[in-house]
A and B are shown apart, each in its own frame.
Chain A
Amino acid sequence: MNSHYISITEAERAEMLAAIGVADTADLFVDIPAEKRFPTLDLPAPLSEPELVRELLAMSGQNAHALNQSIFLGAGAYNHFVPAAVDQILRRGEFFTAYTPYQPEISQGTLQSIFEYQSLICSLTGMEIANASHYDGATAIAEAAIMALNVVRGRRKIVVARNVNPQYRAVLRTYLQALDATVTGDESPDAGIDDALALVDDQTALLIVQNPDFLGRLHDLRGLAAQVQAKGALLCVHFDPISLGLFQTPGELGADIATAEGQPLGIGLNFGGPYLGIFTTKQKYVHKIAGRIVGITKDVDGQLAYVLTLRAREQDIRRERATSNICTNQALMALAATVYMSLMGKQGMRKVAELCYHRAHYAATEIAKLPGYRLLGDGPFFKEFAVGLPRPAAEVNAALRAQGIVGGFDLSADEPQFGNAMLLAVTEMNSRADIDRLVGVLRDVG
């Protein structure tokens, strides 16, 4: 049983066998029936490296991916452009293989990149503080609820609007199931933000709304924070980071907490993950939040230095009194978002938002003209819109797939009251030709 991957010598092997009183290595496997010990695997003959490369390329060449497909699917993860610089910086060994920066002496690069991430997120959202990130938007919302239950003592009710992504609402309930807390506000298909607000009372710790919402609709949330805070509760606004290139920030709205799925910021679709949980709040709540926080300070020589701070909040220090079991962040994805935001800058973020806004509106206008199709809702929207269909979404999507187009999110499971319907997303990656082709296929299907 010799292999150049096993580093022990014959002498060492003999010594170990003697120590455990076994005569031969084969004797260690006597409990496995003889006929099962060395089964025939029937593998093909080994290939040389060039042959292997050719075979694997033939397989991967069959993949449909974001750059060779026309994608109109969103519902929480979006086909936005990932600049080449993002991958180049992420792949640097110093970032790619770095562990959590517990030792600031050897981690200033990692710590600084996280500090820059936190700063850029505050700049983007107008919020006072950001943590180093959570796993994804869904768990960021869950942490907001747990935080609110700790900030507003004695209150056990979380009100969540129906317009929040249904998967996030499900994750929220999963997270809170072992806590003495109730989640309500989204039970009725027709419930809007006003209905959720009406449920906010002196037992409510938090109201959670999403804007633009799950169906892409934009809401005027001015004054909402004051109404919620007047009842002694907190307001969490779940936003789309790209939308902040154009629209009012959660900070301007006076939100107590603002969360988001950061995937649109330079992170690919990645088969559903890893993604990025953006979490921001007010400075006065900093002791109550979960997650890593990087701070800036001076070392013993008076030089600028970065360090993980307010560590006594975290479970590895505070144990059973911690507000969350999370004591990590999504470092590499936060770095991707940081590179993306740095490359785009204020002007670039605005430009991407404009492209998404205008292209989605162009698509919606053209689809609305098709017989059998109707736009669901007539208010302002950003990047996504729900469409009533002449046939079930699954059929429409099959027809689109046959034309190399990935269609919208089938709404029949989550919003059955719409009948046959799908949620279509349009980003800067969908050219006008793409959109015209989509409209053409939809016309033929209808």
Chain B
Amino acid sequence: MSHNVPAELRYSKSDEWVRTEGDELVIGVSDFAQDQLGDIVYLELPKVGQILAPGDSFGVIESVKASSDLYAPVGGEVVAVNGDLESSQEAINQDPYGAGWLIRVRPSGAEEELLDAEAYAVFCADRAH
């Protein structure tokens, strides 16, 4: 099954995506991630103001069959958290790059090694047998 991998985004090897919006970054989990996890039932997200370093766990995403850490693809300060997800986690499954956004970050400049869309698509294809 082919997954949606928008060209303008960058991706981490732990399946988070990053979108630049002005001087903030928006972060979520990829279509591949939501498909692997299955129906999302629960989220633990950070508080606004929390400082993240690249690679830090910034929360937990839980589906009916698994529980996974969320890893910060970039460093920075959390400036917003998607509160709508508390009552409608299914947005992550249905619209992972839009309504399913998780956090907004004011970047510190530090980043994990991120992949472009093409490299990430290959990375997913290698894993999804």
What is A's interface to B at a CB cutoff of 8 Å?
287, 310-313, 317-318, 321
Contact = CB atoms under 8 A, between A and B. Distances in A.
Interface string B34-67: 0000000110000000000000000010111111
Interface of A is mostly: helix
A317 B60 CA distance: 14
Interface of B is mostly: strand
- Chain B, interface size category, equals 10 to 19
21 contacts: A287-B42, A287-B62, A310-B41, A311-B64, A311-B65, A312-B41, A312-B42, A312-B62, A312-B63, A312-B64, A312-B65, A312-B66, A312-B67, A313-B67, A317-B65, A317-B66, A317-B67, A318-B67, A321-B60, A321-B67, A321-B69
A294 to B, nearest CB: 15
A321 B42 CA distance: 14
A318 B69 CA distance: 10
Contacts of B64: 311-312
Interface of B: 41-42, 60, 62-67, 69
Nearest to B47: A153
Query: 7 closest pairs, A vs B, by CB?
Result: A312-B67, A318-B67, A312-B62, A287-B42, A312-B66, A321-B67, A317-B67
Given A312-B41, A312-B66, 10 more contacts: A287-B42, A310-B41, A311-B64, A312-B42, A312-B62, A312-B63, A313-B67, A317-B66, A317-B67, A321-B67
Nearest to B69: A321
A312 to B, nearest CB: 4
A317 to B, nearest CB: 7
A313 B42 CA distance: 10
B16 to A, nearest CB: 18
A391 to B, nearest CB: 59
Nearest to B66: A312
Contacts of A321: 60, 67, 69
A287 B65 CA distance: 14
B58 to A, nearest CB: 14
Contacts of B60: 321
Contacts of B67: 312-313, 317-318, 321
User: Which of A310, A312, A313, A321 has most B Cβ within 10 Å?
Assistant: A312
